Amino acid sequence: MPPPDPSESRVLKPRNGYAWLHVAVNVLLVGGGLIIAAAGLHPLAYVGGQVLLALGLTQALVLLHEAGHRTLFRQRWLNDEVGTLAGFVALIPYACWRPVHARHHQWTGWQDLDVTTAALVPRGLAGWERIVINGAWRYWMPLFSVLYRLQSYWHIRRITPYLPKTTRPANLWLAAALQLLAYVALIAWFGVYESLVLVGPGLFLALMFQDLLLLSQHTDMPTNLSNGRDVRAFPPLEQEPFTRSLRLPRWLSWSLLHFDAHELHHLYPAVPGYLLRRIPYSPPNEVPWLTWVRDVKRMSGTRFLFGETQMTKAKE
């Protein structure tokens, strides 16, 4: 059965009540985790608090994503304000996220034209790169989610050539600089050791989970290379072959605004994430999360990230 026509999903518009509910949950998760860490409670309580914090940090990434599409709230200014705060928690400047993510949706299916996937175009790897990538992948070190942030959102010089000429790099530099200064100020205020105690384990867990969540969406899926040629962008309804969905536990999928329903998101990017599951369509590339994790962890990191995907080249 083909996916429904986008016109049928136009009734699925942002709802402020749903948005505020998810924002409130995020405040409780992040705030609760920080309060438990600061309270000096039993070690088991501290571990539980860091798990809550990890979930809150991951949810902040999803709120950033949703606000960036301006599908979290009905009002544009609310999306931008909450998106900026969520981006601060998620360690990504909102001003950089929006144009980069828009480019991602425009060029999904063309690996070398999408700034978030261009670094994974198959290439010859140095020996040290293979050791680092395979070691990090084998031992669950969150290398990708860190590089994803640094290369795709903080490396302004790298991302600028991918963005529209109307984008003002100075605005991106300013947003990144202000956010970085705010992090430095907070660490200086609390102290390095105290900051690590407050957020260290939770941040590590969040990045480790995000490694899997982010890589599940497009990595090791069929893709194309333009190799510098002029090519046609795939419209949303044609992006499904390049996209994978995970089937997370229902409670986790709900708390992450159905960020795991990535095929539905690419087919209907104007539909709020918290309403995606109302679309009457079962994506063909959706897999149970545990099955997918088990299968990809059997691969080497270099095979999974740079390996023999079903790749085609643009026709002359």
Q: What is the pLDDT of residue 3?
A: 87
Q: What is the pLDDT of residue 123?
A: 87
d(CA 218, CA 266): 11
Whether 59 shows a pLDDT value over 50: the answer reads yes
Contact 247, 289 (CB under 8 A): yes
Nearest to 305 by CA among 75, 53, 117: 117
User: pLDDT tens-digit profile of 61-76?
Assistant: 999 999 999 999 999 9
**What is the mean predicted confidence (pLDDT) over 103-112?**
96
DSSP three-state, residue 224: strand
Whether 138 shows a pLDDT value over 70: the answer reads yes
Q: What is the pLDDT of residue 309?
A: 42
Q: What is the pLDDT of residue 10?
A: 83
Q: What is the pLDDT of residue 40?
A: 87
d(CA 161, CA 151): 13
**What is the mean predicted confidence (pLDDT) over 174-201?**
97
Tell me how crowded residue 15 is: count the other CB atoms within 10 A of its CB: 15
Nearest to 219 by CA among 274, 313, 167, 285: 285
Please report where in the chains the tokens 């998810």 appear, as a residue.
Answer: 22
**Structure tokens that stand for 38 in this block:** 């600061």
Q: What is the pLDDT of residue 8?
A: 78
What sign has the CA pseudo-torsion 77, 80, 82, 85? negative
Whether 316 shows a pLDDT value over 50: the answer reads no
Average pLDDT, the chain: 94
Picking from 91-95, 249-253, 280-284, 307-311, which range would have the lowest pLDDT averaged per residue? Answer: 307-311
d(CA 256, CA 273): 8
Q: What is the pLDDT of residue 67?
A: 98
Higher-scoring residue by pLDDT: 312, 279: 279
Q: What is the pLDDT of residue 5?
A: 86
The domain segmentation of the chain, as residue ranges, is: 15-121+133-229
Beta strands (DSSP E) in the chain are 223-225, 245-247, 286-288, 311-313
User: pLDDT tens-digit profile of 119-129?
Assistant: 999 989 999 99
